[in-house]
């Protein structure tokens, strides 16, 4: 007799990097590992956190810094989280309005052709200076959550280019589904968001993609599978099955031969509910930067497979950003809380394999 499947409730936000979860369910991988994987679409990161805390969800697709912020008690409604699996690395981009793009281009020609963060940053700085001299209001940029790589990558890049993210621009949280609308209505001048929202802005001719966050920090952990610690302790077998299913699903999702089918799965209304062609851009890294212009292949734009094990060194980098931007004091950074969150050991115990924390990719630095 077939043994009964164990139900696991996992929340996700409809973004391309929920792919591994969708594949684990839709390709029957979770089931083959003895799990009945229920996926619940959520409208906000606050909902993800609160529902995991309240027990409505066992775990979720989480922003990597969110798992850390939870364990460091930087947010309300936080419980201890174990986040042993990287669901996606990078995959975010910076998109600006046509007005801002034109102003930047007036300063520097060929921004998209050069595709160089220093050049783009210098052009942005020039526009900011000119606006300041003309007495115009500061530019407004949207990002998705206070504890997000979007926030840290954007700030890191701006600061490296001599732009103070707390003074020279206004950064505000905007839910991803509203980004395009706000850009179109002139309520934002640019944003840093995950896919499909950048490609959708370009397809609707609302904005221009000027940078990929993979240029700022290659292989940056973007989303993790975060699971409530007490659930992990009570369900060690299900946890192992879940992680093995994730690994198998990631191998499938990251294989270019499967991109077409994956884009089809994600385009369904229960996931992203956007056209398959838009999703394919992020999967393949062949981005349309500006409507009507040829696409550009962005190496390592988003990785769904390969190194799925979280690195403690990445957790440290992220907490240093929290400290840099005043979200935390250095004496509040507790190594055990970080190790619990970016749980390399849980990954190795459940999936196995060798781990090395070397070969860290270099961060962007001003040319």
Looking from the CA of 296 toward its CB, the CA atoms found within 13 Å total 19
CA dist 294 and 296 (Å) reads 7
Q: Which is nearer to other proteins, 173 or 333 (CB)?
A: 173
Select from 166-174, 242-250, 289-297, 340-348 the region that touches other proteins (CB under 8 A).
166-174
Q: Which is nearer to other proteins, 143 or 263 (CB)?
A: 143
Structure tokens at 299: 């190496």
Q: How far is the CB of 324 from other proteins (least distance, A)?
A: 14
Burial of 54 (0-12, 13-18, 19+ CB in 10 A): exposed
170 counts as binding other proteins under rule CB under 8 A:
no
Going across the sheet that includes 6-12, the strands are 35-41, 6-12, 59-63, 221-228, 81-90, 302-303
| Chosen residue from 98, 107, 131, 187 binding other proteins by CB under 8 A | 187
271 counts as binding other proteins under rule CB under 8 A:
no
| Chosen residue from 174, 216, 278, 289 binding other proteins by CB under 8 A | 174
| Chosen residue from 199, 321, 327, 346 binding other proteins by CB under 8 A | 327
User: Going residue by residue from 137 to 156, which x/- string records binding to other proteins, judged by CB under 8 A?
Assistant: -------xxx----------
Sheet strands (E) in 91-220: 92-97, 139-143, 169-173, 190-194, 207-212
366 counts as binding other proteins under rule CB under 8 A:
no
CA dist 123 and 120 (Å) reads 5
User: Going residue by residue from 49 to 78, which x/- string records binding to other proteins, judged by CB under 8 A?
Assistant: -xx-xx-x------------------xxx-
φ, ψ (nearest 5 deg) of residue 217: -140, 95
> Residues in the site for other proteins, rule: CB under 8 A?
43-47, 50-51, 53-54, 56, 75-77, 144-146, 172-178, 187, 327
């Amino acid at each position: 007799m077939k043994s009964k499947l164990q139900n696991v409730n996992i929340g996700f936000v409809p973004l391309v990097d929920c792919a591994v979860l969708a594949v684990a369910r839709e390709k029957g991988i979770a089931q083959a590992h003895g799990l009945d994987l229920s996926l619940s679409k959520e409208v906000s990161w606050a909902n993800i956190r609160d529902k995991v805390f309240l027990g409505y969800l066992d775990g979720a697709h989480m922003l990597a810094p969110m798992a850390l912020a939870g364990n460091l008690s930087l947010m309300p409604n936080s419980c201890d989280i174990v986040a042993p699996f990287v669901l996606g690395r990078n995959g975010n981009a910076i998109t600006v309005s046509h007005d801002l793009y034109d102003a930047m281009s007036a300063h520097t020609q060929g921004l998209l052709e050069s595709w160089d963060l220093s050049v783009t940053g210098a052009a942005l700085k020039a526009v900011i200076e000119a606006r300041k001299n003309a007495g115009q209001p500061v530019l407004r940029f949207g990002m998705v959550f206070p504890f997000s790589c979007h926030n840290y990558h954007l700030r890191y890049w701006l600061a490296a280019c001599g732009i103070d993210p707390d003074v020279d621009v206004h950064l505000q949280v905007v839910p991803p589904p509203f980004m395009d609308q706000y850009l179109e209505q002139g309520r934002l001048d640019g944003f840093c968001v995950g896919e499909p929202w950048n490609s959708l802005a370009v397809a609707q001719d609302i904005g221009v993609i000027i940078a990929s966050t993979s240029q700022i920090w290659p292989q940056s952990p973007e989303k993790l599978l975060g699971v409530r610690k007490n659930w992990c302790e009570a369900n060690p077998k299900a946890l192992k099955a879940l992680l093995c299913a994730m690994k198998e699903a990631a191998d499938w999702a990251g294989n270019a031969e499967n991109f077409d089918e994956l884009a089809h799965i994600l385009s369904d209304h229960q996931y992203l509910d956007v056209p398959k062609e838009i999703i394919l851009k992020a999967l393949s890294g062949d981005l349309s930067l500006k409507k009507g212009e040829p696409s550009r292949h962005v190496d390592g734009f988003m990785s769904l497979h390969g190194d799925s094990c979280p690195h403690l060194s990445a957790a440290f980098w992220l907490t240093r950003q929290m400290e840099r931007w005043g979200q935390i004091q250095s004496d509040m950074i507790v190594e055990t809380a970080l190790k619990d969150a970016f749980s390399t050991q849980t990954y190795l115990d459940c999936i196995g394999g060798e781990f090395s924390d070397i070969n860290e990719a270099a961060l962007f630095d001003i040319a």
